Structure 1
Amino acid sequence: MAFTLKAVANGETEGFVIRDLAKLRTVAQLNGIPIEGRAPEEIANDLADLYIAQFGQQRGEIILVKRAPAKRQKIWKDLGVIPRGLDREVVEAPPPHPHWG
């Protein structure tokens, strides 16, 4: 979805548009992206870049963790399983059990 959002922001797609500008602005603000005086396409491009960067992030928590309820965040923290980077978690996952599939 991040690549689609980036393509829409850069006018590289047909049939896709940003329909909910209020939601775009809200999500951008929640992620620390400035919105004042900026076109929706600029905001969407920055948001897409942030999410694309999060995919391969190697250190620290991904920003989307903040969107989870506080109770869930505490559980993840207590268990030591707060996601770091989407790609990293997949790459470091244990291999499948020999008797699976």
Structure 2
Amino acid sequence: MTTPASVAARVAEILGGGWKADSGPWETYGRLDAPDADTYTLHVDDHDELCLSANLNPAGEIASFRKVHTPEGTEAIAEAIAEAIRQHHTAANQE
């Protein structure tokens, strides 16, 4: 079963370089951390979309993703989340 926590674990693998993933109770959310980086959270919202947020981002969500039903779709979302984190992390470092 694909959960926010399992997606977060895959995103941490994709990002490499010290990124780690932790899960919330019953794997209802996934948290991604790395040295010198914001903490990112994945959760499912009321519209059944997987949402990415950063703890220090006052605007709220960085991105959201529709539910997928295939392993390939899950992998594509994990890649997209990793890219969104890279972009957000780069922009935050330039401020």
More strand by share: 2
Of Structure 1 and Structure 2, which has the larger fraction of its residues in helix? 1
The one of the two structures with greater contact order (alpha-carbon pairs below 8 A, sep at least 6) is 1
Please report the TM-score for the alignment, with normalisation by the length of structure 2.
0.32
When Rg is computed on C-alpha atoms for both structures, the one with the higher figure is 1
